[in-house]
Amino acid sequence: MPSVSAPRRTSRPPVEAKAGIPVAEAAVPVPRRALHKGQQTKATIVEAALNLATHIGLEGLSIGALAELTGMSKSGVFAHFGSREELQISVVHEYHDRFEQEVFYPALQASRGVARLRALFDNWMKRTSIELDSGCIYISGAVEFDDRTGPVRDALTASVQTWHAAMRRTIVQCRECGDLRADVDENQLLFEIHGLILALHYEARFLRNEGSMQRAIDGFESILARYARPA
- Site for its own copies contains 146 (CB under 8 A): yes
Phi, psi of 159 (to 5 degrees): -65, -45
* Strand locations in 184-229 (E): none
Under the criterion CB under 8 A, does residue 142 sit at the interface with its own copies?
yes
Candidates 42-50, 95-103, 111-119, 192-200; binding stretch for its own copies (CB under 8 A): 192-200
Q: Does 154 bind its own copies (CB under 8 A)?
A: no
| Site membership for its own copies, residue 192 (CB under 8 A) | yes
Q: How far apart are CA 172 and CA 178, in angstroms?
A: 10
The three-class DSSP label of residue 177 is: coil
Q: Tell me, what amino acid is at 81?
A: F
Give the nearer residue to its own copies in terms of CB position, either 92 or 196: 196
Choices 3-11, 37-45, 166-174, 200-208 (CB under 8 A): range interacting with its own copies: 200-208
Burial class (CB in 10 A: 0-12, 13-18, 19+), 191: exposed
- In terms of C-beta distances under 8 Å and separation of at least 24 residues, what long-range contacts does 109-116 make, across chains too? 112/170, 112/173, 112/177, 113/173, 113/174, 113/177, 113/179, 114/174, 114/179, 114/180, 114/224, 116/170, 116/173
Which of 69, 194, 228, 229 binds its own copies (CB under 8 A)? It is 194
Q: Which of residues 111-130 bind its own copies (CB under 8 A)?
A: none
Task: Enumerate residues 43-62 that contact its own copies by CB under 8 A.
Answer: 55, 57
Binding interface with its own copies (CB under 8 A):
55, 57, 135, 139-140, 142-147, 157, 160-161, 164, 187-188, 191-192, 194-199, 202-203, 205-207, 209, 211-212, 215-216, 218-219, 222, 226
